[in-house]
């Protein structure tokens, strides 16, 4: 049994006030899969070109990540370039080259189709639904989205929301989707669209988890230095679904709000480690001991 994660794979060029790096492993599927792999095996779905560095592929394969669903086609890998401003809360996208990602149609290997836990990364709602149509009775499905799809594919997104268990989005996306400036109201309105659970991420101010007559506000882990925020949201989502799968894998009962609370905390911790270095470099050397130490410290300072 594995977590199925589908999304983008990219080569990033990132500039911060202190440093600039090129040809970094990026993309929603990359960050989420590495984060999830700390807790549970991953079935990876994405697309790269023939220029994709072999060392990136080798690293992913060295984790509990099955790359059978990674498509390698003639051409160049999706490339993204961005620059962060001084406070690291805002970034400017400098360039986007979709390349082979422009024609990405996720096709699941037969061994993936029984995956009980699914994370639909930030791709078009039609592609997210295409993935779901290939899966046999998934137990828990999380979808991510962004402003672009809310603005250009609202009808398809609303149809997708009827088919997922949880939606993750940030505060500006929640306001855009619902028209409500109040995030508590926005969470309630999004739940009414279909998903049983909703998470609204607020960056350095943590996240909000909404369920039926249940609410949890999780603070962000306090950090003195942030080197690269890229992939924080994807690491959060990957850590969340990986941890959730690990604690319910042997249980037949319905997934509870308390289990999701714990998963949100672990997702928060994975995101906090991710931003401590560029790309997945901090996650590359992260250990389970590191995670548990930070978990116990987080509980202590949050109580």
Would you place residue 134 in the very low, low, confident or very high pLDDT band (cuts 50, 70, 90)?
very high
Q: What is the DSSP letter of 165?
A: S
Q: Tell me the residue ranges of DSSP E strands in 126-229.
A: 140-144, 166-170, 197-201, 207-211, 214-218
Helix (H, G, I), strand (E, B) or coil at 175: helix
Q: Tell me, what's the pLDDT at 249?
A: 56
Examine the pLDDT at 291 and tell me if it is beyond 60.
yes
- Band the pLDDT of 266: cuts 50, 70, 90: very high
Which residue, 69, 90, 73, 91, is CA-closest to 82? Answer: 91
pLDDT at 289 over 90: yes
pLDDT in tens, 24-44: 999 999 999 999 999 999 999
Q: Which residues contact 86 (CB under 8 A, 6 or more apart)?
A: 17
Between 95-99, 186-190, 297-301, the lowest mean confidence (pLDDT) is in 297-301
Give yes or no for residue 144 having a pLDDT over 90: yes
Reply yes or no on whether the pLDDT at 85 is more than 90.
Answer: no
Rounded CA gap, 204 and 207, in Å? Answer: 9
Return the pLDDT at 79. Answer: 97
Mean pLDDT, rounded, for 97-108? 95
- Work out the average pLDDT over 231-240: 97
pLDDT digits (tens, 9 = 90+) for 47-57: 999 999 999 99
At residue 18, the pLDDT reads: 84
Q: Where are the beta strands (DSSP E) in the chain?
A: 3-6, 10-15, 20-26, 42-49, 65-73, 79-84, 91-97, 117-120, 140-144, 166-170, 197-201, 207-211, 214-218
User: What is the number of structural domains in the chain?
Assistant: 1
pLDDT at 88: 80
Query: What is the predicted pLDDT for the residue at 59?
Result: 96
Give per-residue pLDDT as tens, 198-219.
999 998 899 999 999 999 999 9
Residue 250 — pLDDT band, cuts 50, 70, 90? low
What's the mean pLDDT in 91-117? Answer: 95
Which residues lie across from 167 on neighbouring strands?
143, 198
Domain harbouring 29, CATH code: 3.40.1190.20
Average pLDDT value over all residues in the chain? 94
**DSSP E strands: which ranges in 59-175?**
65-73, 79-84, 91-97, 117-120, 140-144, 166-170
Question: Could you tell me which of 139, 130, 151 has the C-alpha nearest to residue 249?
Answer: 139
pLDDT confidence bin for 252, thresholds 50/70/90: low
What burial class does residue 133 get, using C-beta atoms within 10 Å of its C-beta: 0-12 exposed, 13-18 middle, 19+ buried?
exposed
In this prediction, residue 118 carries a pLDDT of 98
Domain that holds residue 110: 3-302
pLDDT of residue 302: 79
Query: Does residue 224 have a pLDDT over 80?
Result: yes
């Amino acid at each position: 049994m594995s977590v199925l994660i589908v999304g983008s794979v990219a080569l990033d060029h990132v500039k911060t006030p202190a440093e600039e790096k090129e040809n970094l492993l990026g993309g929603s599927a990359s960050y989420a899969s590495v984060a999830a792999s700390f807790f549970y095996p991953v079935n990876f779905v994405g697309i790269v070109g023939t220029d994709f560095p072999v060392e990136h592929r080798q690293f992913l394969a060295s984790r509990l990540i099955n790359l059978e669903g990674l498509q390698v086609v003639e051409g160049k890998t999706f490339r993204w370039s961005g620059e962060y401003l001084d406070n690291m809360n805002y970034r400017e996208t400098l360039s986007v080259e979709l390349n082979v990602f422009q024609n990405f149609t996720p096709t699941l290997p037969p061994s993936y189709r029984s995956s009980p836990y699914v994370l639909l990364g930030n791709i078009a709602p039609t592609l997210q639904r295409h993935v779901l149509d290939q899966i046999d009775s998934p137990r828990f499905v999380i979808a991510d989205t962004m402003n672009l799809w809310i603005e250009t594919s609202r009808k398809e997104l609303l149809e997708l929301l009827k088919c997922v268990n949880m939606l993750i989005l940030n505060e500006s996306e929640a306001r855009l989707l619902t028209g409500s400036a109040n995030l508590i109201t926005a969470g309630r309105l999004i739940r009414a669209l279909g998903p049983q659970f909703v998470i609204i991420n607020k960056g350095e101010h943590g996240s909000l988890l909404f369920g039926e007559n249940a609410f949890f506000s999780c603070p962000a882990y306090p950090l003195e230095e942030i080197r690269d925020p890229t992939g924080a949201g994807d690491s959060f989502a990957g850590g969340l679904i990986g941890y959730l799968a690990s604690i319910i894998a042997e249980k037949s009962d319905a997934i509870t709000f308390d289990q999701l609370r714990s998963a949100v905390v672990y997702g928060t911790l994975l995101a906090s480690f991710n931003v401590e270095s560029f790309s997945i470099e901090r996650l590359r050397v992260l250990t389970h001991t590191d995670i548990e130490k930070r978990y116990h410290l987080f509980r202590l300072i949050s109580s």
